[in-house]
Chains A and B, each alone.
Chain A
Amino acid sequence: MISSTPQETIAQWRQWCTLALAHTRQAQECNQLAQAALQGYATVKGQAAGVVVGAVYGEDDRVFWQVTNLSAQIDSGEDGRQRIVVFVQLCAVDGQGRPIVPGVEVELLLDKWDSTRYRATDIVGDPIELIPF
């Protein structure tokens, strides 16, 4: 026997859908907070290493590199321990700060960033020498 009317059925269905939507939003909020925690860590670590978004470094007299973003992600090492890997994104710019090849960026590992010599290794292991501009 049908124990509820269509109106009651739809109301109950809507109630569940509303609750499901609330959980979806809470999940999104948690993900955003988790990402923000990593982003904050990347910013702090970058600042400690003297790397901030907007800073420009000169590779030679024609190409400059501008820091466009700092990001971080969790990495599980072979020993099973988790660590945070911070990435520095750089964009090649000309003397006026305009991207030489728009959309193309270089990503570096911050922990391989030598703040004394501004020497870094990109993610495929090729060395990039950066000179303070």
Chain B
Amino acid sequence: MSTTEQQVIEQWATLVAQSEQHEAAMHALQQAADDFLTDYATQLANRHGVEVGQIYRNTTTGDFWLVRGFQAGVFYLDNDDPQSFLRVRVQVQKVKKWKPLRRFEQPLLQQFVDSETLPKVNPKLHRYEFTQQEMVL
């Protein structure tokens, strides 16, 4: 193996290692960003009285839904609009049986639906979602 070949191999290996380090950092930052939004979504939902494990009744269909978790995402109205919104989604699972607990006698969902602000019931997607209305320029 010539010195030149060895040098090129070492240079190549160094660059590949640097690339892998950058990719690892990129994945860690993306995960941190996702976790940050998820934490925020959970806190926001909890502030609205929605917690994992609760069961809600869709007052339109009569179905019962178990709250499984929360997701948040940043979205834009369109590509040309710089305004972005934070959307929080409540992940729910349809359940067949509902144990009537005192805390659900006045379903929070009904309160949401009756309010002028979101959340909106999205039966097509089988999930309830509400959107933080504040805009960020």
Residues of B within 8 A of A33 (CB): 15
Residues of B within 8 A of A1 (CB): 43, 47
Residues of A within 8 A of B134 (CB): 5-7
Main secondary structure of the interface of A (DSSP, over half): helix
Q: Is B36 an interface residue (CB 8 A)?
A: yes
What are the 10 tightest A-B residue pairs by CB atom distance, in nearest-first order?
A30-B19, A27-B22, A34-B15, A16-B33, A23-B26, A20-B29, A23-B22, A26-B22, A23-B25, A27-B19
Contact A41/B15 with A16-B36, A24-B22 known, Cβ cut-off 8 Å:
no
Q: Which of B23, B40, B43 has the most chain A CB atoms closer than 10 A to its own CB?
A: B40
* Contact present for B8 and A37 (CB under 8 Å): yes
Contact A41/B19 with A10-B136, A13-B74, A17-B30 known, Cβ cut-off 8 Å:
no
**Nearest CB to that of A10 among chain B residues?**
B136
Interface residues, chain B, with chain A CB atoms under 8 Å away: 1, 4-5, 8-9, 11-13, 15-16, 18-20, 22-23, 25-27, 29-30, 32-33, 36-37, 40, 43-44, 47, 74, 84, 86, 132, 134, 136
Q: Is A82 an interface residue (CB 8 A)?
A: yes
* Contact present for B33 and A17 (CB under 8 Å): yes
Q: Is A47 an interface residue (CB 8 A)?
A: no
Please, how many residues of chain A have a CB less than 8 angstroms from a CB on the other chain? 36
Main secondary structure of the interface of B (DSSP, over half): helix
Residues of B within 8 A of A31 (CB): 15-16, 19
Residues of B within 8 A of A26 (CB): 18-19, 22
C-alpha spacing A82/B23, complex, angstroms: 24
* Contact present for A23 and B33 (CB under 8 Å): no
- Minimum C-beta distance from A9 to chain B (A): 5
Residues 80-118 (chain A) with a chain B CB within 8 angstroms: 81-84
Contact A34/B37 with A13-B74, A16-B32 known, Cβ cut-off 8 Å:
no
Q: 9 more A-B contacts (CB under 8 A) besides A23-B22, A37-B12?
A: A2-B44, A6-B86, A9-B36, A10-B74, A16-B29, A20-B27, A24-B22, A40-B8, A82-B13
C-alpha spacing A102/B49, complex, angstroms: 66
Residues of B within 8 A of A19 (CB): 29
Contact A9/B30 with A2-B44, A41-B8 known, Cβ cut-off 8 Å:
no
Residues of B within 8 A of A11 (CB): 136
